[in-house]
Amino acid sequence: MKNAARDLGLLDEGSFFVASTPGMQKIKAKIELLAKVDVPVLISGESGSGREAVARLIHRLSNRARHKFGKVNCAALNGELLEQELFGRSNRSTAPDKLGVLPVCDGGTILLQEITHVHTQIQAQLLEMLQDHPFGTAHRTALDVRILASTTTAEYSAIQNRLRDDFYDRLSAFTIHLPPLRERRDELRILVAHFMDRLSRRYRISPRSFLDNLWRAVEEHAWPGNLRELEIFVQRYLVMGDEHAAMDELASKPHLLRPSISTLSSDAPARGDASGLKSLVRNIKGETEKAAITRILEKTRWNRKEAARFLGISYRGLLYKIEQYELSPPPPEMNRKAIGKIITTIQVRS
């Protein structure tokens, strides 16, 4: 844990960004590069994976850091209310004027959460800003706000289908995809230590330690809720202090499948080859996960929603895994009548 302080970047409002693995360090390097250039960025990732933290880090490292950072959940508001929230309201019957989030963040950055829920009319207004055209409001003649957007949609083709082509092209020129927590297992101890430290200071409770059995349960859990689920788990364990209850809680939820010894290849690397061993373990985990997902999909006859519920992961998470492992449903089977007709035809012709 000596490098925890170096790997953990604290942001405002309790946000943080961890980059202790090679994959996350690459993402951090990309963030640092994009922060210096005033371009829109599309951030994707499962719910609870830390998309807002990425946006806050981009803002903090940019030349807009001294100005405001704002966020709007586009999925929580309908078209008219979202427009008022973004651009403000004036001269609307007897309702008082309201300064929108965009004017408030003038000179700063705004994060549009769940961007695929934005109405096409509002997309057109946002596109004007992205194209550097003057944008008028009742309060200002022009706005200078950097737009960042986030989505839980796993596939960029699905995102494109829900946005105007010109708006999508502007927005998706630079993208960052956050992997789920189950693919960042090397960071679990740093994350748990951070949550335990922050929450213990908030509630003025002495931090609690994790014994080996509890650590094993934490490391084997799938964490479908990602960082948010992990924080709630640490919070519950800190307050209640019941290790057995904590383990029972994890045991009742989806966990990662452990490969059996029989899956080990005879070509396994020698004991001294640490990098080869890590690569082997990663491959085994991937093949085991692929086999488990394939089995459940076959069991549910490729009903993806039912399979996601059975696996204890989100629907989008399952779609991501299907794409990652290049899985596809089997061709539709011909019914017996159709087969019988074909056989009869062949016999007649012969």
Q: DSSP string spanning 178-239?
A: PPPGGG-GGGHHHHHHHHHHHHHHHHT-------HHHHHHHHHB--TTHHHHHHHHHHHHHH
Residues 196 and 160 in one domain: no
Phi, psi dihedral angles at 147 (to 5 degrees): -105, 125
> pTM of the full predicted structure?
0.68
258 belongs to a structural domain: no
CATH of the domain at 191: 1.10.8.60
Residues 309 and 209 in one domain: no
Per-residue pLDDT of the chain (350 residues; tens, 9 = 90+): 444 444 555 555 567 888 888 889 999 999 999 999 999 999 999 999 999 999 999 999 999 999 999 999 999 998 889 999 999 876 555 555 678 999 999 999 999 999 999 999 999 999 988 886 444 444 444 789 999 999 998 788 888 889 999 999 999 999 999 999 999 989 999 999 999 999 999 999 999 999 999 999 999 899 999 999 999 999 999 999 999 999 998 888 766 544 333 333 334 444 444 445 545 555 555 677 788 888 888 888 888 888 887 777 778 778 878 877 878 887 655 445 554 554 455 444 54
CA distance 69 to 55: 9
Residues 71 and 168 in one domain: yes
257 belongs to a structural domain: no
Domain ends where: 144, 179, 214? 179
Domain that holds residue 49: 4-179
Please, which contacts does 160-167 make with residues 24 or more away whose CB atoms are closer than 8 Å? 162/116, 163/115, 163/116, 163/118, 163/123, 164/120, 164/123, 164/124, 164/127, 166/127, 167/123, 167/124, 167/126, 167/127, 167/130
Residues 147 and 232 in one domain: no
341 belongs to a structural domain: yes
Residues 101 and 234 in one domain: no
Residues 92 and 28 in one domain: yes
Residues 206 and 170 in one domain: no
Domain ends where: 231, 251, 271? 251
Residues 39 and 145 in one domain: yes
Residues 136 and 223 in one domain: no
Residue position matching structure tokens 């689920």 = 229
Domain ends where: 179, 198, 230? 179
98 belongs to a structural domain: yes
